[in-house]
Amino acid sequence: MTSLSSMSFSESPLSTAAVEAAEALYGELTHDIRGVLDVAIRTRVEESRVAQARQLIQQATQILAEDAPPEPAGIHYNADGRSWNWGNAVVGVRNAIAPPVVLSWSDDDLVSSDVDLGVAYEGPPGCVHGGVSSLLLDHLMGETASNRHTQLIVTGTLTLRYVHPLPLGRVHMEGRITAMSGRKVTVAAHIRPADSDVPAVEANGLFIIPRWADAESVTGSLD
């Protein structure tokens, strides 16, 4: 079995300027693909137009496949300490499934994010799928437990309480470390509509610093 430590991070020769240029280039492509996903769910065009759209999408797929290594995107960093996680399902700049989430750290160590969740994230009619809420909170809480990326962590347990349905649209989520003991970090978080102060989903999580990472630290922004 491949250990987590052997596949977590890999050093890249890319300069920070090259990384940011790639994010700008492929980020725009991913933004366009998100648009296709959104409208594909809602469209009512006739059969001939669907066939035309499919041909264009298939052509685009063939073009992009001309240089598309089969390996997972992975997490990389360069000599400047700049790191990137383009394939991540929550924050991946090049993953059209990701909203994507952009996290902010406040001076009091509160970690938060405002993000738009459209029809691609629907569960109950007009509401965000409960699994999507769990996915977003798990990532937010993991980043929170990393203590500003100074420690590597993995999720131990995650407990969620679904208080109210979460409408599609702009949502706000935030998390904070509530306890630290040895290699254990406890985090509390919630997600709610951006125009409401009432949490729709509340979460508590226990995160673990792996033994192999106990003496290691991580710098940079995993975006």
Structure tokens at 175: 């998390």
Beta-carbon contacts of 191 under 8 Å, excluding residues fewer than 6 positions away, are: 133, 136, 137, 166, 171, 172, 173, 199, 200, 201, 203
Report how far Cα 1 is from the mean position of its chain's Cα atoms. Answer: 26
Q: What is the pLDDT of residue 166?
A: 98
Please state the φ and ψ torsions of residue 13, each to the nearest 5 degrees: -80, -5
* Contact present, 96 and 30 (Cβ < 8 Å): yes
Give tens-digit pLDDT for 15-32. 999 999 999 999 999 999
Spans of the chain below 70 pLDDT? 1-8, 214-223
Q: How far is CA 150 from CA 80, 139, 157, 184, 219, in A?
A: 16, 16, 21, 14, 6
Q: Is 207 helix (H, G, I), strand (E, B) or coil?
A: strand
